[in-house]
Structure 1
Amino acid sequence: MSKFMDTKNCFHCGNEIIKKDEVLFDEKSFCCNGCKTVYEIFSQNDMSCYYDFQASPGATPLDIKGKYDFLDNEEIVTKLLEFQEDATAIVSLYIPHIHCSSCIWILENLQKLQSGISTSQVNFGEKKVRINFNSEKTSLKQIVEMLSSIGYEPYISLENFDEGKKKVDRTLIYKIGVAFFCFGNIMLLSFPEYFEVEEFWINQYRGFFRWLIFALSLPTFIYSASGYYVSAWKSIKSGLLNIDIPIALGIVVMFIRSTVDIVFDYGQGFFDSMCGLIFFMLMGKLFQIKTYDFLSFERDYKSYFPIAVTRVASNGSEESVQVYDIVKGDRLLIRNQELLPVDGILISPKASIDYSFVTGEAVAIEKKSGDKVFAGGKQLGKVIEMEVLFSVSNSYLTQLWSNDVFQKRVEQQHKTITDKISRYFTPALLGLSIVSFLYWVFIDVTTAFNVFTAILIVACPCALALTAPFTMGNVLRILGNRKFYLKNALVVEQLAKVDSIVFDKTGTITTNEKTAITYEGSELNSAELRLLKNVLRGSNHPLSRRLYDFIPNQEKLDTTSFEEIIGKGIFAEIEGVKVKLGSSQFLKTMTENTHKKTKVHVEFNGVYKGSYVFNNQYREGLELLFEKLSKRYNLIVLSGDNDGERKILEKMLPSNTSLVFNQKPEQKLQYIESLQKEGKNVMMIGDGLNDAGALAQSNVGISISENVNVFSPACDGILDASQFNKIAFFMNYSKNTMKTIYMSFGLSLLYNAVGLSYAVSGNLSPIVAAIIMPLSTITIVSFVTIVTNIYARSK
């Protein structure tokens, strides 16, 4: 006993200290000099609060001298880096030791330990840390060695790098296996007790079998249920009461009560119920994890953005293809404001790339032919060509799209409801169980313990906590199948709150297909058409794309300079000729007649030539869609074009639709801001290019995608143009989703109310409560799956 009392544990890693190896420093004991060094590093950098998160949270640093010398090889480092441009580099490292909140805290504060690191972000689920660092101030080798020195050695293997990141934690499976083994054997050994067999052998060996059952229960009690004890203890230390507290308390009460029964020969105890309880609760947890994994897989698999990119064939022809059809060696054409979907080599003489989506810095970087360009960069200026090095990674595009920089800070109501219920649920549950125990203890002690334990188990709000995220996850999957891709679950809730919908006109309610284009003015010769075609080749504006397709194929020429002013027009120089095209205000020409139409005016070397007139073709189902939406929403058409088609739209659209024309991009943003100041919840639907500011300002921004690579992180969702006429369905579906969440909340609370009424009255045993608990989770998941799918099929 005295030997046990003399045992010391390392202050840093918690390992038992061998007396001869003990290192004393700052009145603390460490198992080795490595742990002492880590403690010194934290103390010197004013980071000793690391130890406030959890007692002994660290890991013993390993001797790594010379282990990472291979990171001096630039070729190897290049393969490991996600991004490298000038002095900015980004790397994701798999760190198996990540296991708690203190790990997250230290790994997200690496900039305090290593100069040159600007940011670090932990993905706890994948045990990865993404580090953004300055390669001129520090190196990957120095970062890896620093991580290893503080006990967070990364897993790095060039052959098995991806495999390492996919390692699966099977701890839960092992715990379930132990619990099942013990539960089954305890049930088998308890049969004589169940059937009250009083033969000589059972009377003689009853004590032996009971103590054998006790021994079999220990692995389940100590190992399988350990997660609940740890969670409950951390919750108590942090001053919060989570649901694992009553579960852990119930398990401990059952164990102590059963042990007392055996010691004083009151009976066989409840070891079978306890092991069964732990087994079924762990099965419920496994079901939740598998459910989430399924949703995550479906989300990743289905979230291919409907973004197309122009691929240049060997014969020089251009075709628009989906990003996931791109393969290594393809030659891509990237226009002004387009996002580079893959890593590649620049073929064009030079390019200006904006990497703000990746690094957060909006300074454009000049590249020359032969330089490597990275996915996520945005091309500025004239059209460029590049050769693909790797096929597209949709998960990387998702990462860019979901960047915190572009997130809208809106309160998540469903999460708040769950948090509020959970906050008061645990204290109320503990109070009810104690009161019920005190009531029954004066009637029947055995029943009192059963009631106390059954209440703690049956009222577990696992189903309550699961209902909102599972419903939202399933809805995201369903919408993805219908080519409506939302950034996250919060967007569904915001869609349900929308009361005003703002539509852009060109490229949104009009289609690029079936548009009649006519030319008015001095006839253009073949040389001028060739120049005009090549200038239009670099633009992504819907009118530019239509006009580019309208003009016959011409010889490919390189532009000397190219500048596209959003909402106005293009100014370019090609073969010594200055070409200007766009609105009449941009060209300073007053050729508009009384019958205003959508036009693109053309000027060569300061000489006005004429204009292309667009007779817009509106999207199929537009009138019916607006008719449906007008019954519930305030509708606005907000256009940068002139009001030449006002009368056409007034005839097509409901009378209460507001039509606002001649709006510059900044004016669109201000208009939406004014609606929000009136208390409106605004959804903006635009083409993602001229409308980026308005999309970001709106409560919900939806970008229509047709056949161009306009990818805007500012938007909350991407809608395939073919699904435009189903917007009313999507809006109604979002409202039904919120109804489903509230119905499932009610179902979960009803289950708890019924279960508690049986438990309080003493008519529910702990083992039955343990079986019912995961069944309630399955019920909730089945309910929301069925209901959301029924709503999805409704017309």
Structure 2
Amino acid sequence: MDTQNCFHCGLDTIKEDEIIFDDKIFCCNGCKTVYEIFSLNDMTCYYDFEKSPGATPQDIKGKYDFLDNESIITKLLEFQEDSTCIISLNIPHIHCSSCIWILENLQRLQKGISTSQVNFPEKKVRITYNPETVSLKTIVYLLSSIGYEPYISLENYETGKNNVDRSLTYKLGVAFFCFGNIMLLSFPEYFEVKEYWLDQYRGFFRWLIFILSLPSFFYSASDYYVSAYKSIRSKMLNIDIPIALGIVVMFVRSTFDIFMDYGSGFFDSLTGLIFFMLLGKMFQIKTYSFLSFERDFKSYFPIAITKINTDVSEESIPIYDVQKGDRLLIRNQELIPVDGILISDKAEIDYSFVTGEAIPITKKSGDKIFAGGKQIGKVIEMEVLHSVSQSYLTQLWSNDVFQKNVIQNHKTITDKISRYFTPILLFIAFSGFGYWLFFDANIAFNVFTAVLIVACPCALALTAPFTFGNILRILGKKKFYLKNALVIEQLAKVDTIVFDKTGTITTNKKSNISYEGDSLSDENIFLIKNVLRASNHPLSRMLYDFLPEVKRIKINHFEEITGKGIDAQVDDFKIKIGSASFVEKLEGNSIQQTSVHIKINGVYFGKYIFNNEYREGLETLFKNLNKSYEIKVLSGDNEGERETLEQILPKGIELVFNQKPEQKLDFIKRLQENGKNVMMVGDGLNDAGALAQSNIGISISENVNVFSPACDAILDASEFQKLNYFLKLSKKAITTIKMSFTISLLYNVVGLSFAITGNLLPLVAAIIMPLSTITIVSFVTFMSNLYSKKLKA
């Protein structure tokens, strides 16, 4: 029968049934329609990434009518506002670069979709759309019409249960069954036992071995054939090609032996090979899932949120302790960590972290507010609807908008080795086979298969991810939380460290505060305390804790100007709290000090002076850091603390005062222009720009929920003195990777030298392959744990 392949999906088409359109052959009207949609929207480059990448669209008429129900849609959505909705959909058909390209360009196919992001490993697409322009049902039908029908299950969305893929477990079970029985049936041939019934039924046992090998060969090893085929189709040589070739050659050779009655073949080695390789694969998957579980399970946000108790007292609790029904206090610039109901009469919420839109949305009492928004202005109260979703906050933190362009040296090394590995391996295998064929065909086949199997770069590929994963886990336990594994490599490259002063090297917890100026009445203190309640600035928090408890009142207007101060109104009182210039007060020639000035209804009263308490271990930390790094200290305050800092810190450290947020950013930019690799350590509030500009931005977290997605790491304030230890450990992680690369390459060189000389059986090679992976994993785990215990701050 004359058949050709469909241009869209690649399926065979029968000559009589094929549809020709635009000089291309399609198997059905569905595939032709998808091609037409792409053509009309100038998106035919979809077919340039991979040949026949599409799937045949299915008829789903009426299947998604339940998406007309608003209550169901609400359960499916991650985020919902007037003009912005976000949903994550499971797309089982995602399989190649063409799929990623088309799904990340949905906005060109449908008006109302603003962005779409693909999570390839999880086969998900996250779509941001305008519900006023396009409905969710329309989007689902669009996806289905181009061959990417989503899998929607309310049970999965509500309970978080996903269907677990157990195919590898089944394949491993079948491989073990075949391997075990074939080994048992092969024993008489091994020992050359001379028994009448064995000699009489030798042929029967051999054919039984052949039949038992078929499920292992065709089913258990199928993933290797599929991977090798896709690799060849995409004109890239991956490691599965030599493995698949080795399996096929061994099977063909063994089948030939049985048909020609030369012997029982190598079916025992073949099934053992498949079993041990699948066992190694299972070990690798379990290793990765363990690391992923560790990262998700441990809270990667040590930030606290203020909870209002039933007796109206306030306490700071970790955000992962927040429960449904709790009442939370959200201050200016704080992140809303959970979905909830607004209790306060009005709120301005900036959802730019979620939607990219910086225009604040006004909410009224009783409205639902979503996690990920940032409160702008006066303090608000809310009631929690759901407990905190750490994975959602991690998703915000890892948003592409906040990613920095970094060169991954370890990945570059792995990619270079992998690129040349397979061609070199195939050359060695065929050369060895050709050489030994002149002496002994059996040895030639053994050499060919053993070479293909023993030299596997799996251990090489696993080195960096596992080392970084283990270091991430160790650092997380020590309350240093990194955005991702790339940060470790960047930490190791740092040569210059810039510290913010207030709230970073000074602690918010302790400060000797005194007042200087006209006496403040109880009413004035009452007003100041209530205004400060909404602020997140370190000095505001310290002063708020210092002032006596007062009754809480409603604030009519609140505006916090970064780097300057607070402008607020309570009934008929206009209050300004901040720097001297902000309250328009000219300071004399007296000693400059860190202070907060007070102005009420245009009348200047005085200032609160802060004699800063520096963090415990600061002197030792800077002394140790100064040996290996260039250190700078930036401060938005005046030079009042210069003398104190010069006494505490080692000589030669640059101290820069009176720096506004934009000046801090420019300072870091200048350092980078001079070739410096800069790490910025700040409090995450006034330093957001500088944290984003730096090569590595670390936000110090004390007891307020100021979330800076531009930072690369969050350090719990209690572990501040261990910063040098963390930097040392990151360098040791890179050393461990280099050592592991060397061991992995030596493993392959030794294994190949044995294989090429005919001293390594294929079955032994199959056992060595997963053993090399176990060795590498054990080595990097041991070394990273050893370094974490032995290193000193």
TM tier relative to shorter chain: over 0.9
CA deviation vs aligned residue, 1:559-596 (integer Å, no higher than 9, x gap):
22212111111111111211111111222212354322
Structure 2 CA distance for partners of 1:55 and 1:216, relative to 1, 3 Å: farther
SS in 2 for 1:754: helix
Is 1:674 equivalent to 2:670 in the alignment?
yes
1:261: Cα distance to partner? 2.1
1:644: Cα distance to partner? 0.8
1:248: Cα distance to partner? 1.4
Question: Which of 725, 735, 757 is 1:729 aligned to?
Answer: 725
Give the distance between the partners of 2:402 and 2:112, measured in 1 at CA.
Answer: 25
Query: One-letter code of the match for 2:224?
Result: Y
Is 1:167 equivalent to 2:163 in the alignment?
yes
Structure 2 CA distance for partners of 1:28 and 1:680, relative to 1, 3 Å: closer
Give 2:478's aligned residue: 482
Query: One-letter code of the match for 2:212?
Result: L
Is 1:687 equivalent to 2:683 in the alignment?
yes
Give the distance between the partners of 2:384 and 2:126, measured in 1 at CA.
Answer: 24
Contact 1:155 1:164 in 2 (8 A): no
Question: Which of 565, 571, 575 is 2:567 aligned to?
Answer: 571
Query: One-letter code of the match for 1:433?
Result: A
Give the distance between the partners of 2:470 and 2:582, measured in 1 at CA.
Answer: 48
Give 2:122's aligned residue: 126
SS in 1 for 2:133: coil
Give 1:109's aligned residue: 105
1:389: Cα distance to partner? 1.6
Contact 2:237 2:419 in 1 (8 A): yes
Question: Which of 370, 378, 383 is 1:382 aligned to?
Answer: 378
Is 1:271 equivalent to 2:243 in the alignment?
no
Give the distance between the partners of 1:588 and 1:738, measured in 2 at CA.
Answer: 52
Query: One-letter code of the match for 2:358?
Result: A
SS in 1 for 2:507: coil
Is 1:223 equivalent to 2:236 in the alignment?
no
Is 1:608 equivalent to 2:604 in the alignment?
yes
Give 1:249's aligned residue: 245
Unaligned runs of 5+ in 2: none
Contact 1:572 1:580 in 2 (8 A): yes
Give 1:196's aligned residue: 192
Give 2:545's aligned residue: 549
Structure 2 CA distance for partners of 1:217 and 1:158, relative to 1, 3 Å: same
Contact 2:681 2:698 in 1 (8 A): yes
Is 1:24 equivalent to 2:31 in the alignment?
no
Give the distance between the partners of 2:42 and 2:219, measured in 1 at CA.
Answer: 36
1:233: Cα distance to partner? 2.0
Aligned residues: 790
Give 2:138's aligned residue: 142
Summarize the alignment of residues 750-765 of structure 1 with structure 2, pairs less than 5 Å apart.
750-765=746-761
Structure 2 CA distance for partners of 1:580 and 1:59, relative to 1, 3 Å: same
Structure 2 CA distance for partners of 1:152 and 1:662, relative to 1, 3 Å: same
Is 1:75 equivalent to 2:71 in the alignment?
yes
TM-score (norm 2): 0.96
Contact 1:94 1:165 in 2 (8 A): no
Give the distance between the partners of 2:518 and 2:160, measured in 1 at CA.
Answer: 66
Contact 1:23 1:33 in 2 (8 A): no
Structure 2 CA distance for partners of 1:184 and 1:76, relative to 1, 3 Å: same
1:108: Cα distance to partner? 2.5
1:74: Cα distance to partner? 1.5
Query: One-letter code of the match for 2:259?
Result: V
1:17: Cα distance to partner? 6.8
Give 1:408's aligned residue: 404
Is 1:776 equivalent to 2:758 in the alignment?
no
1:534: Cα distance to partner? 1.2
CA deviation vs aligned residue, 1:29-56 (integer Å, no higher than 9, x gap):
6665444444443444444454555565
Is 1:532 equivalent to 2:528 in the alignment?
yes
Which deviates the most, 181-190 or 785-794? 181-190
Structure 2 CA distance for partners of 1:43 and 1:225, relative to 1, 3 Å: farther
Which deviates the most, 404-413 or 576-585? 576-585
Structure 2 CA distance for partners of 1:592 and 1:174, relative to 1, 3 Å: farther
Give the distance between the partners of 1:744 and 1:315, measured in 2 at CA.
Answer: 57
CA deviation vs aligned residue, 1:211-261 (integer Å, no higher than 9, x gap):
332222222222222211222222222222211111112112212222222
Sequence identity percentage? 72
Contact 1:126 1:165 in 2 (8 A): no
Give the distance between the partners of 1:659 and 1:18, measured in 2 at CA.
Answer: 78
TM-score (norm 1): 0.96
1:740: Cα distance to partner? 0.6
Give the distance between the partners of 1:53 and 1:171, measured in 2 at CA.
Answer: 28
Which deviates the most, 193-202 or 616-625? 193-202
Give the distance between the partners of 1:480 and 1:164, measured in 2 at CA.
Answer: 25
Question: Which of 275, 285, 294 is 1:298 aligned to?
Answer: 294
SS in 1 for 2:519: coil
Question: Which of 746, 762, 770 is 2:742 aligned to?
Answer: 746
Give the distance between the partners of 2:364 and 2:789, measured in 1 at CA.
Answer: 52
Question: Which of 706, 713, 717 is 1:717 aligned to?
Answer: 713
Is 1:560 equivalent to 2:556 in the alignment?
yes
Summarize the alignment of residues 220-369 of structure 1 with structure 2, pairs less than 5 Å apart.
220-369=216-365
Is 1:506 equivalent to 2:502 in the alignment?
yes
Give 2:422's aligned residue: 426
Which deviates the most, 513-522 or 146-155? 146-155
CA deviation vs aligned residue, 1:50-94 (integer Å, no higher than 9, x gap):
455556544444432222222112122112111111211111122
1:475: Cα distance to partner? 0.6
CA deviation vs aligned residue, 1:601-657 (integer Å, no higher than 9, x gap):
111122110000001111111111111111111111111111111111111111122
Query: One-letter code of the match for 1:751?
Result: Y
Query: One-letter code of the match for 2:481?
Result: Y
Structure 2 CA distance for partners of 1:91 and 1:239, relative to 1, 3 Å: same
Indicate the RMSD between aligned Cα atoms, in angstroms: 2.1
Query: One-letter code of the match for 1:280?
Result: F
Which deviates the most, 59-68 or 701-710? 59-68
CA deviation vs aligned residue, 1:422-442 (integer Å, no higher than 9, x gap):
112222212222222222121
Question: Which of 342, 347, 369 is 1:373 aligned to?
Answer: 369
1:202: Cα distance to partner? 3.5
SS in 1 for 2:509: coil
Give 2:787's aligned residue: 791
Give the distance between the partners of 1:399 and 1:616, measured in 2 at CA.
Answer: 36
Query: One-letter code of the match for 1:282?
Result: L
Which deviates the most, 766-775 or 585-594? 585-594
Contact 1:262 1:268 in 2 (8 A): yes
Give 2:515's aligned residue: 519
1:533: Cα distance to partner? 1.0
1:264: Cα distance to partner? 2.6
SS in 2 for 1:715: coil
Give the distance between the partners of 2:119 and 2:369, measured in 1 at CA.
Answer: 26
1:773: Cα distance to partner? 0.2
1:376: Cα distance to partner? 0.7
1:557: Cα distance to partner? 1.9
CA deviation vs aligned residue, 1:110-152 (integer Å, no higher than 9, x gap):
2233222222222233232211111111101111222233333
Give the distance between the partners of 1:320 and 1:164, measured in 2 at CA.
Answer: 29
Query: One-letter code of the match for 2:737?
Result: I
Give the distance between the partners of 1:18 and 1:657, measured in 2 at CA.
Answer: 78
SS in 2 for 1:587: coil
CA deviation vs aligned residue, 1:693-741 (integer Å, no higher than 9, x gap):
1111111110000000111001000000000111111111111111111
Is 1:464 equivalent to 2:460 in the alignment?
yes
Structure 2 CA distance for partners of 1:29 and 1:121, relative to 1, 3 Å: same
Unaligned runs of 5+ in 1: none
Give the distance between the partners of 2:507 and 2:780, measured in 1 at CA.
Answer: 37
Give the distance between the partners of 2:500 and 2:4, measured in 1 at CA.
Answer: 70
Give the distance between the partners of 1:363 and 1:603, measured in 2 at CA.
Answer: 30
Contact 2:498 2:680 in 1 (8 A): yes
Summarize the alignment of residues 45-64 of structure 1 with structure 2, pairs less than 5 Å apart.
45-51=41-47, 57-64=53-60
Query: One-letter code of the match for 2:293?
Result: F
CA deviation vs aligned residue, 1:303-362 (integer Å, no higher than 9, x gap):
330111112223332221111121222222211111111112222222221111001121
Which deviates the most, 48-57 or 331-340? 48-57
Give the distance between the partners of 2:761 and 2:7, measured in 1 at CA.
Answer: 43
Question: Which of 648, 665, 668 is 2:661 aligned to?
Answer: 665
